[in-house]
Amino acid sequence: MKNKELAAPAIQVLERTFALLDVLASHQDPVSLKQISESTGLHPSTAHRILNDLTIGRFVDRPEAGSYRLGMRLLELGNLVKARLDVRDAALGPMRELHKFTHQPVNLSVRQGDEIVYIERTYSERSGMQVVRAVGGRAPLHLTSVGKLFLASDDPLRVRAYATRTGLAGHTKNSLTEIGALEREMALVRQRGIARDDEELELGVRCMAAGIYDDQAKLVAGLSISAPADRLEEAWSSRLKEIAAQISSALGYRG
């Protein structure tokens, strides 16, 4: 009961305002004052008075007398919030948590053209693995776990165009250098929700990655664990997915 009380606004008019906005947000079309009153339990005159003030502030629009919808001011404020959301800032704390869990390097990467770029890394000297690609380093999409996430999110024609542009050049004997093998790998990535690099970029190093999505359900980054080939544990995949989902939620993803 105490937690419920703490969650409620201390000022009654704010609680009523939130209720009104929630009703409007649940409808795509303008909502009548009568329907709003019935949904919130507020007297029509009370709802009308608050809605009128919200209309003045452009938080609510009144397309015609007696009906209301959410206003453009909310869109403006939402865009400001979105612009200030930074995937690196959202990811750093969860990355540290994942590193403590695995004791292996944790990487945050984004796509730039035909490569992934490492934008953050959490690691310790005790991991037993030399960190070759520092923050700012780049690697081909098809040779990395995060890169495979981005390729798996593309349609087949774009993947084939990527293969043509790059020639699917390999770095190790394990690299996927044929389009058929890459397409089969993409199907597995989509099925599992996890991508892997089994010594395809560097011999002796394996990785697994999960996607990070924004409020438009767009893949914007990948979170990966790198480890010596004999130390990467499959059991980490569920924790990796949880942490990636946590970061996505912080960016507004509701999938």
When mean pLDDT is compared across 57-71, 79-93, 127-141, 232-246, the lowest value belongs to 127-141
As given in the structure block, the two tokens for residue 54 are 């919200």
Tell me if residue 77 falls in helix, strand or coil: helix
Distance of CA 85 to the CA centre of its chain: 11
Question: pLDDT tens-digit profile of 12-41?
Answer: 889 999 999 999 999 989 999 999 999 999
Q: What per-residue confidence (pLDDT) applies to 77?
A: 84
Q: Contact at 8 Å (CB) between 86 and 41? A: no
Question: pLDDT tens-digit profile of 127-157?
Answer: 555 555 567 889 999 999 999 999 999 999 9
How does the average pLDDT of the chain come out, rounded? 90
Q: How confident is the model at residue 11 (pLDDT cuts 50, 70, 90)?
A: confident
When mean pLDDT is compared across 4-8, 182-186, 204-208, the lowest value belongs to 4-8
Q: DSSP letter at 171?
A: S
What percentage of the chain reaches a pLDDT higher than 90?
78
Please tell me the number of Cα atoms within 13 Å of 44 on its side-chain side: 6
